[in-house]
Amino acid sequence: MQLTLGFSPCPNDTFIFDALVNKKIDTEGMDFDVMLEDVETLNRWALKGKLDVTKLSFPAFFQSIHDYVLLNSGSALGKGVGPLLITRNDPGIKKDEIEEASIALPGVNTTANLLFGFAYPHARNKNFMIFSAIENAVLTGQTDLGVIIHENRFTYQQKGLHKIVDLGEYWEQKMNVPIPLGAIAMKRKFENTVLRKVDGLIRKSLEYGLANYPLITDYVKHHSQEMSEQVMRQHIDLYVNNYSVDLGADGKAAIETLYGVYKKMKMAEPLESHPLFLVSSA
């Protein structure tokens, strides 16, 4: 069986999927047509139901639950892994000033946008752009503030930028659950045996990578050409953890909490009633 598979070129995703897409593990008769794109492109595709298996942000998943079910392996959750609100000027800027400022965010359907809205519900002057352009937009004054994700967490200080608030820490303090950032989901139309097989293959692929870590493979390096190996490892260490191997009860509870906040914020309506999670085999 051949399936379309989408994920980002970020080191945590390429690390997770390397062994699967390059057949370093037995793929049990499954073949994957792989598309690497930034997460907001994958979010837009998910809303159109384009791919069979895809990485996507949780708000995009919540909007497409009629098409997709969340797999148990491959997602990005954790503590201390949230997006950062940054400035080039005064990190002591007040809340009312933040809500009046222009803010660059990495896509309307991203978890970063949801977490920013959770912390600053009255901010309206938002500019959406690809995540890798936000640091420069803040540096050049194209926007007053920016919300950064991925490897930019490790580079913004080197560029003279300042953190105002860690939006992940704010979420953790208010909700007392880990931060759900990115999901791996698959089309509901497939039989449970196929869903569970793909879920199991993703887990095996990740476990293969972990067994060989801290090796950074050529596949990961190829798609992270502008990063040093140190930054790649920082990225993997931050975003790949026990929740990536299996969501578990804590991970699922955190996702359900985020879903509840999402619905209260009325970021998309109507929201259809479907089970969020893949039912594991007995």
CATH topology of domain 84-175: D-Maltodextrin-Binding Protein; domain 2 (3.40.190)
What pLDDT was estimated at residue 258?
95
What pLDDT was estimated at residue 221?
96
Distance of CA 38 to the CA centre of its chain: 10
What pLDDT was estimated at residue 197?
97
Whether the pLDDT of residue 265 is over 90: the answer is no
Within 10 A of 217 (CB to CB), how many other CB atoms are there? 16
Cβ contacts of 182 within 8 Å, gap of 6 or more: 39, 55, 56, 57, 58, 75, 76, 111
Whether the pLDDT of residue 152 is over 50: the answer is yes
Whether the pLDDT of residue 110 is over 60: the answer is yes
Report yes or no: 109 and 60 within 8 Å, Cβ to Cβ.
yes
CATH topology of domain 2-78+180-264: D-Maltodextrin-Binding Protein; domain 2 (3.40.190)
Encode pLDDT of 48-86 as tens digits.
Answer: 999 999 999 999 999 999 999 999 999 999 888 889 999
Work out the average pLDDT over 259-274: 74
Whole-number average pLDDT of the chain = 92
Work out the average pLDDT over 34-45: 95
Work out the average pLDDT over 195-207: 98
| Chain length of the chain | 282
What pLDDT was estimated at residue 164?
95
% the chain with pLDDT above 90: 80
Nearest to 161 by CA among 81, 84, 235: 84
Cα(271)–Cα(86) distance, integer angstroms: 32
List the end-to-end C-alpha distance of the chain, in Å, as a whole number.
24
141's torsion region: left (phi>0), alpha (psi -120 to 50) or beta? Answer: left
Work out the average pLDDT over 119-135: 93
Nearest to 71 by CA among 236, 187, 177, 211: 187
What pLDDT was estimated at residue 275?
87
What pLDDT was estimated at residue 270?
53
Task: Please say whether the dihedral angle defined by the alpha carbons of residues 136, 150, 264 and 97, taken in this order, is positive or negative.
Answer: negative
Report the chain's C-alpha Rg in angstroms: 18
Q: What is the DSSP letter of 115?
A: H
Work out the average pLDDT over 3-26: 97
The active-site residue, picked from 66, 122, 150, 222, is 150
Is 150 marked active-site? yes
Within 10 A of 180 (CB to CB), how many other CB atoms are there? 29
Work out the average pLDDT over 195-219: 97
Encode pLDDT of 176-197 as tens digits.
Answer: 999 999 999 999 999 999 999 9
pLDDT band, residue 25 (cuts 50/70/90): very high
Q: Are strands 31-36 and 2-7 parallel, antiparallel or unpaired?
A: parallel
% the chain with pLDDT above 70: 96
Nearest to 17 by CA among 30, 31, 7: 7
Work out the average pLDDT over 4-19: 97
pLDDT band, residue 226 (cuts 50/70/90): confident
Domain boundaries, the chain: 2-78+180-264, 84-175
Topology agreement, domain 2-78+180-264 and domain 84-175:
yes
Q: Which of 40-44, 130-134, 248-252 has the lowest mean pLDDT?
A: 130-134
- CA–CA distances in Å: residue 7 to residues 45, 231, 273: 11, 19, 26
What pLDDT was estimated at residue 272?
61
